Structure 1
Amino acid sequence: MGFAGVRSWVGAVLAGGLVVAGLSVAVAQQVERQAPAGPPAHAQAGTVVPSSAAAMKMSFAPVVARTAPAVVNVYALKIAQRTNPFIDDPFFRRFFGGGPGGGGLGAPERVQRSLGSGVIVDPSGLVVTNQHVIQGADQIRIALNDKREFDAEVLLSDQRTDLAVLRIKGEGAKFSSLEIGNSDELAVGDLVLAIGDPFGVGQTVTQGIVSALARTQVGVSDYQFFIQTDAAINPGNSGGALVDMDGRLVGINSAIYSRSGGSHGIGFAIPANMVKVVVASAKAGGKTVRRPWLGAKLQRVTPEIADSLGLQRPTGALVQSVATDGPAARAGLKTGDLIVAVEGQAIDDPESLNYRWGTRPLGGKANLGIVRQGRDQTLVVTLEPPPESVPRDEVVISSRSPFAGARVLNVSPAVADELRLDVDEGVVVISEVADGSPADAAGFRAGDIILEVNGGRIERTKDLVAATRTPSRAWKVTVARGGRTITAVLGG
């Protein structure tokens, strides 16, 4: 199925209650009764009415006129094959036919459609959207505000931030774009506009205020640090723009809190400062986002820990351990230190530290405010990426063993950062498990750390290859998963 008339299926999406734009809510088709109108505005106690003709004409229209052309629709199609148990049987193929579109026992294509929004952030046609909008897509189509439509390709897809950067395939075309603002300048109460395509009805603008900043318990991405707004955000708004009154992009709308599927006035946007980091990596030609590495493990400060440290309230990020020869260690950070600020910006918890550190530019230095034994100190830490101190030696296990179909690699600080591991190096980790493979059937998962096989210590991928080269009737395997060590005996 092609992209001709991409809007034609939107009605079917709404009619079928399909989950769109990755907001994990179904389209609710209910019409609420409107409450009876109250008394005229001038009769309501405490109401302030416009005092002049100029005040009555105040409008957000100039901001919308500048920003709306840079907000686009993102249509993502994923083509899947229906499997047929008889398709490989020559007898059934002979009598009933086969092959897609043959009208027999073939495997016709099944198309999964996703609808979201995006923001053009460069006149050359760079579009930022949510990663969950385009995840797994075989084809991506961009529909502009002026009705033009273009194919697009993925330049960078970052699951950790739930952001993706696309490039519009429009040779020689110029596009309206938005300036990326400084989200750190936002304050609670600031007016903002949300622009996107909710429910596929067409571009829509809603107005609200910044309800809260630095929301760190949303759970939408690894970098849990969100702008909360009461501007109406609905399915289809994902990837759309949150703009300030100067027409600058201050956030990418990503999620809502809802029990019905509609907007309840609690929406979340990824701050523009994180968007800058992802866009910069895409412009530099990277397939992954390069971020600074602190080289320390952190934990949340509980009321009990705060009391033991003599703190008035539970705040900051407590250092559990420091990687040897990492940036933090070289700066003098020690276990037990309490990190309370990055470049003068307060740190409330490990999530806010990860965000503040992850949005710093590589190559410079940053001041880290800490409390050590009740005394305030400042450490100067180098902003550098995590090193790949051990070669990955990535390999897919193909020998006859429970590991067949698992992609494994050696752990280094760089790999640990990519896969969000609690170890730094010296072990083998599974990065991917093929569906339906023996490794999948054995229950292995991405992120499992392989420690031992049949009593032999596994420290490099070559050790695992050697350990699985000889078939065995039983395999005694020890892995680390989620901070726990698990030992199991698996059949050969």
Structure 2
Amino acid sequence: MTDPRTMTKHVSKLLAFLSVAVLMLLTVALAPMFSQAERDPGDAIPAAVTLPAESPPLAEVQAVVPRSQEQIYLSFAPLVKDASPAVVNVYTAKTVKSRASTMEQLLYGVPAQGSSVQNSLGSGVIVAAEGIVVTNNHVIQGADSFRVVLSDRREYPAELLLADERTDLAVLKIDTGTERLPTLDYADTRAVQVGDLVLAIGNPFGVGQTVTNGIISATARTDVGVSDYSFFLQTDAAVNPGNSGGALINTKGELVGVNTAIFSRTGGSVGIGFAIPSEMVKRVVDAAVNGGTFVRPWLGLAAQSVSFDIAKTQGLTRPIGVIVTEVFPDGPAAKAGLRRGDLVTAIDGREVFDEKGLKFLAAVRNPGEQAQLTVLRAGNSQTIKVQVEPPPGATEADVVLLADGSIFNGARVIELSPRLAEENGLDPFSKGSGIYVHSVTRGTISRNYFKPGDIIRTVNGKTTKTVKDLEGVLAKGGRTWEIEIERNGRTVKGTVRT
């Protein structure tokens, strides 16, 4: 009979041998991984999942466990640390006058007239080291004073250089002496693609500087209705009230856009935010720094989107581009040879799908520059170069106050023109010629008959194309006035006896 102690010794030797064998096999199997780790100890991304230009599809790439502490602690923190000092808070103050009722005056001793100060908060981005800050127009609109607070809590009064309602952008300047401030460079938003990683930096709800991340959800959103020059980048990075005017940056730390609006039924972020592309931001900032006026280049045409049925008749496989419906005489498009019925599919190589997109891509060019329009005419594609120009005609600076004692007394009027139409969002083609009622003075007789936005077509049978035409009719006087106006797209005729 075998001695149990002898058997135990044999079993122990066998187990020891098997343990050594298993360790040797593990060493051989893991040797390539350890050798790779020694060669690339600081790799931020494991070599097994790095995707070079000719990498296999993602489905064929195997996930691996991080092999170093650096790989475990991947973070946007260095990017945020560099970018966040260029994002500021913008505080505004507005004095609001109020009038107390007789009852309030008697019961509570409230003064007949008083005033209060309303404060609001938004975000902004430093885009020039000498203190140039860009924000949204709706952040500063109607305010009497402005204050910019840097990320390190220093505060400076700000001067308003430019406010443009139609692009919803405003430019402020702060004076920091000789100190150069941190800035964000403009990204090339022509290269932005759906799926690109982005970070939104701002001050939501006034809680302090906050960073959220997401992706570009869509580009060239033109149906948002925030501004007339709509061409927004859409992102799912959380954007909330107070983020307006803040920065949307890419993974290079460049300014992709200025956060402007959200789609929300509750007032909070639901993952649909919109930013003005940096190419438009740069145009507005350049205009503010170099003169203070943002002049929108003009193509001199009207257009409509291409439906699926129209696309089929044009031999297109999908709806793309806009059909030219009107060409303004002697305008840039007319000079370049564009015609009614031309189908514009792209401008400067970028596809267009509606007139707003076409206007935006033209507006990011400086007046005098050439835009290349890809045009489909009679089934043939060609490139037509159009030199964009400022729209001609009267501007709001040419408004005339009528003070002749007639029923027009107190009305501020101006001649319709392409430039006035651009400044006020009018359609110069459908409106035709006439006198535009810019505003009406409170307490004057004209308030009984006219409203801002009316277009005076004829007075006493005389067509009024210019302010001189209207003044000539008024100079003849009289107590009976036969007037034809256009109001909200409808023609209104009437006779007024005084």
TM category (shorter chain) comes to 0.7 to 0.9
Q: Return the alpha-carbon distance in structure 1 between the equivalents of residues 480 and 92 of structure 2.
A: 45
SS of residue in 2 equivalent to 1:418: helix
1:388 partnered with 2:393? yes
Q: Which has the higher contact order (CA 8 A, sep 6+)?
A: 1
SS at match of 1:65: helix
Shift of 1:143: 1.1
- The aligned residue for residue 397 of structure 1 is 402
Distance 1:66 1:433, change over 3 A: farther
Q: Distance in 2 between matches of 1:154 and 1:225?
A: 25
Task: Describe the shift of the 1:202–1:282 C-alpha distance in structure 2 as closer, same or farther (beyond 3 A).
Answer: same
Q: CA 1:243–1:392 in structure 2 vs 1: closer, same or farther (change >3 Å)?
A: closer
1:197 and 2:213 correspond: no
Q: 1:74 corresponds to which residue?
A: 90
Partner of 1:417: 422
Corresponding position of 1:255: 261
The corresponding residue for 2:73 is 57
- Residues 262/390 of structure 1: CA separation in 2 closer, same or farther (3 Å cut): closer
Counterpart of 2:116 (choices 101, 110, 115) is 110
**1:224 match:** 230
Paired AA for residue 332 in structure 1 = G
What per-residue deviation string (whole Å, max 9, x for no partner) do you get for residues 325-367 of structure 1?
1111111100000101111111122121111111123222121
- Distance in 2 of aligned mates of 1:346 and 1:80: 46
- Secondary structure (helix, strand or coil) at the match of 1:66 reads helix
**Closer, same or farther: CA 438–275 of 1 in aligned 2, 3 Å:** farther
Residue in structure 1 matched with residue 377 of structure 2 by the alignment:
372
Q: Deviations over 1:424-449 (max 9, x none)?
A: 77532123344565545545123x32
Contact 1:392 1:411 in 2 (8 A): no
Contact 2:440 2:450 in 1 (8 A): no
Contact 2:198 2:249 in 1 (8 A): yes
CA distance in 1 between counterparts of 2:496 and 2:449 reads: 7
Q: SS of 2:113's equivalent?
A: coil
Counterpart code for 2:389: E
Q: Is contact 1:191-1:244 (8 Å) kept?
A: yes
**Following the alignment from structure 1 to structure 2, what is the Cα–Cα distance between the partners of residues 389 and 463?**
15
Aligned counterparts of 1:480 and 1:422: Cα–Cα separation in 2: 13
Change (3 A) 1:108 1:181: same
Pair 1:173–1:364, CA change in 2 (3 A): same
| TM-score normalised according to structure 1 size | 0.81
- Residue deviations 1:447-483, cap 9 Å, x none? x322122333211123333444677666443223454
Greater Cα shift, 266-275 or 413-422:
413-422
Match of 1:125 among 123, 127, 131: 131
Distance in 1 between the 2:101 and 2:476 partners? Answer: 33
1: distance between equivalents of 2:100 and 2:462? 43
Q: By how many angstroms is 1:399 displaced?
A: 3.8
- Max radius of gyration: which structure? 2
RMSD across aligned C-alpha pairs, in angstroms?
2.8
Give the 5 Å matches for 1:43-192.
Answer: 50-84=66-100, 105-192=111-198
Greater helix share, structure number: 2
SS state of the match for residue 184, structure 1?
helix
Aligned pair in 2 of structure 1 residues 307, 114: CA closer, same or farther (>3 Å)? same
Q: Distance in 2 between matches of 1:390 and 1:74?
A: 31
Structure 1 residue aligned with 2:435, among 428, 435, 444? Answer: 428
Shift of 1:113: 2.1
CA distance in 2, matches of 1:131, 1:473: 45
> Percent identity of the aligned residues?
48
- Over 3 Å counting, the alpha-carbon distance change for 1:56 and 1:310 in structure 2 is same
Give the Cα–Cα distance (whole angstroms) in 1 for the partners of residues 240 and 398 of structure 2: 44
Deviations 1:182-220 (A, max 9, x none): 111111111111011100001111111111111111000
